[in-house]
Amino acid sequence: MNRQAQAAVLFLIGVAVLRASFTDLYLRYVKAELRPLLMVAGAVLIVAALATVWYELRALRAARNGAAEGHGSSGHDGHGHREPRVSWLLVLPLLALILVAPPAPGSYSAMRAGTALKPLPAFPELPAGGTLRLGVGDYAGRAAYDDGRNLRDRRIKMTGFVALDRGGAPHLTRMTLNCCAADAQPVKVRLSGRLPPTLQPDTWLEVTGTYSSKRAKDPVNGGVIPFFDVTRAAPVKPPSDEYEG
C-alpha cells in the first residue's frame, strides 16, 4: 500500500475513533473513563494522515520541478511502482466500523462464561430509607460476600438483561469490563419470586424486590450466584451503556 493509501486508512481510522468517542458508540468497545484517550487518539491519527498527505504533495512538487529543470534526463521519471488496487479493500472494515455499531455480548456469551463476581475488601455504606437502586454487580457482591448487610428489609431495584441457564432458570445479568469489550465477563443474579410467565433471553428488565440469602454455584467456574426475590418485573429499553464496572 502506498503512502496515499496509508494516509487514507489513517484518516478513516481517526474519523471512526472520533465519531465513536463523541457518541455513545465508544461504550460498546471500552470503559466510559477511557473516552478522553479515544478523543486524543482519533485527533492524532487524523493529524498524522494530513501530515502524510502534505509531505507527499511537497515531495511530488519537488520531483516535478526537478524533472522540468532536467528536461527529462531520466526516461523513468514520474513512473513509480503502482500498488495493487486490492489493497483498498482494507478500507471496507473501517467503513463498517464507522457505519455499524456492534452489539454488546448477550445471554449466549454470559451463560457460557463463569461469573466475574469476586469478594471486595469493603463495601461503601448505602443511603438509609427509600428504594435502593443498585447495579447487578453491586447487589451480587453485597449479597454474596457481605451477608446482605444493609440489604435486608430494603426495597431494591436493578436493571439487566435476562439469561437462561440450561435448565431454564432466569438470571438478571450485566457484563462487566476491566478495560474493553474483549475482556467482558458476566455477573449473574438468579431471579425468584413473582416473575413473568415467559422470559425471553436478552430481554432487558427492571426488577423490584428484596434480598434473598439463597446461593447457587456457577456451573462454569464454581463462582457464587446470589438470588433475588422479585416482586415486580417490567421490560425496559437497554441503557446507553450496557456494561457495568
The pTM is what?
Answer: 0.68
Residue 175 in 3-state DSSP? strand
Grid cell in block for residue 90: 482494507
**Number of domains comprising the chain:** 2
Q: What is the pLDDT of residue 76?
A: 47
Please say if the pLDDT value at position 81 is more than 60: no
Looking at the structure, tell me whether residues 35 and 112 fall in a common domain: no
C-alpha cell at 93: 472494515
Confidence at 95, pLDDT banded by 50, 70, 90: low
Give mean pLDDT, residues 15-26: 77
User: Given pLDDT bands bounded at 50, 70 and 90, which one contains residue 55?
Assistant: confident
Q: Residue 75: its pLDDT value, please?
A: 47
The region, left, alpha or beta by phi > 0 then psi within -120 to 50, assigned to residue 177 is beta
CA angle 138, 142, 146 (to 5 degrees): 155
Q: How far apart are the C-alpha atoms of 193 and 56, rounded to whole Å?
A: 68
Backbone angles phi, psi at 170, to 5 degrees: -85, 140
Same domain, yes or no: 159 and 47:
no
**Taking 50 as the threshold, does the pLDDT of residue 57 lie above it?**
yes
Q: Of 202 and 245, which is predicted with more confidence?
A: 202
Cα distance between residue 81 and residue 72, in whole Å? 18
* Per-residue pLDDT, 245: 67
Mean pLDDT on 133-145: 95
Pick the closest to residue 144 from 244, 225, 222 (CA basis).
225
Last residue of one domain, picked from the residues 79, 99, 119: 99
Same domain, yes or no: 132 and 85? no
Work out the percent of the chain whose per-residue pLDDT is above 90: 39
CB burial string 22-41: b at 16+ within 10 A, e below: eeebbbbbbbeebeeebbeb
Confidence label for 82 from pLDDT (cuts 50, 70 and 90): low
Once rounded to an integer, what is the mean pLDDT over residues 106-118?
A: 90
Q: How confident is the model at residue 115 (pLDDT cuts 50, 70, 90)?
A: very high
Q: Based on the fold, state whether residues 59 and 169 are members of the same structural domain.
A: no
Pair (153, 176) in one structural domain: yes
Is residue 93 domain-shared with residue 159, that is, in the same domain?
Answer: no
pLDDT at 158: 97
pLDDT of residue 127: 87
Co-location of 199 and 221 in the same domain: yes
- The H or E element containing residue 93 is helix 91-99
pLDDT of residue 10: 80
Helix 91-99 × helix 3-21 angle, to 10°: 20
In terms of average pLDDT, the best of 58-62, 65-69, 70-74, 192-196 is: 192-196
Backbone angles phi, psi at 82, to 5 degrees: -85, 130
Q: Which three cell numbers stand for residue 5?
A: 493509501
Containing structural domain, residue 43: 3-99
151 CB contacts (<8 Å, ≥6 apart)?
Answer: 126, 132, 139, 142, 143, 211
Instruction: State whether 32 and 13 are in the same domain.
Output: yes
- For 204-241, the pLDDT digits (tens) are 999 999 999 999 999 999 999 999 999 999 999 998 88
175 vs 14, more confident: 175
Residue carrying the nine cell digits 486524543: 40
Q: Are residues 219 and 115 in the same domain?
A: yes
Q: Which tops the pLDDT comparison, 75 or 147?
A: 147
Residue 123 sits in the same domain as residue 233: yes
Least confident of 49-58, 155-164, 190-199, 206-215: 49-58
How far apart are the C-alpha atoms of 203 and 35, rounded to whole Å?
28
Q: Looking at the structure, tell me whether residues 79 and 128 fall in a common domain.
A: no
Instruction: Specify the 3-state DSSP secondary structure of 129.
Output: coil
| Whether residue 191 is found in the same domain as residue 90 | no
Q: Do residues 173 and 186 touch, judged by C-beta distance below 8 A? A: yes
Q: Half-sphere exposure (CA, 13 Å, Cβ side) for 97?
A: 18
Most confident of 33-37, 54-58, 153-157: 153-157
Query: Partners of 158 in the beta sheet?
Result: 207
